[in-house]
């Protein structure tokens, strides 16, 4: 069965500092992995996804993530945080696509705060 663990429910960085949000996955099949962002009182917006092409995936708003099979990780980074990056971030793995190919399995989320 697939699962996702996000380390750190809350991360705080200063404006201009590196953002690192951690995600580890468990999957019995080659994983499809996603990072979504949720701003207050809004739905989820896709930042980026890994679909077995390049291991370094670039997304929107300067975010990127690297798939590391040996570490079962898919950490999200951004070199320089902006105040507008403050939001909650969710890592997700596609469910057992032998059956339902639709479901995403989400981590509990990491809330990012950016200090001026």
Site for other proteins, rule CB under 8 A:
32, 34, 36, 42-46, 49, 51-52, 90, 92, 94-95, 97, 99-109
Shortest reach from residue 70's CB to other proteins, in Å:
22
Looking at the Cβ atoms of 18 and 29, the one nearer to other proteins is: 29
- Which residues 6+ apart lie within 8 Å of 84 measured at CB? none
CA–CA dist 25, 33 (Å, integer): 9
Of 52 and 80, nearer to other proteins (C-beta) is 52
Least spacing, CB of residue 80 vs other proteins, in Å: 26
Q: Which is nearer to other proteins, 75 or 94 (CB)?
A: 94
Contact 55, 71 (CB under 8 A): no
Residue 51 sits at the vertex; the CA angle it makes with 49 and 56, to the nearest 5 degrees, is 65
């Amino acid at each position: 069965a697939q699962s996702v663990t996000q380390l750190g429910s809350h991360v705080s960085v200063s404006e201009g500092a590196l953002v690192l949000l951690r995600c580890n996955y468990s999957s019995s099949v080659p994983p499809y992995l996603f990072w979504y962002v949720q701003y207050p009182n809004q739905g989820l917006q896709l930042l980026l996804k890994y679909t077995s092409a390049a291991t370094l995936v670039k997304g929107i708003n300067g975010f990127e993530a690297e798939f590391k099979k040996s570490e079962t990780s898919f950490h999200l980074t951004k070199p320089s945080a902006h105040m507008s990056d403050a939001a909650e971030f969710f890592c997700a793995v596609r469910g057992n696509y032998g059956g339902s190919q639709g479901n995403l399995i989400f981590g509990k989320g990491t809330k990012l705060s950016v200090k001026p």
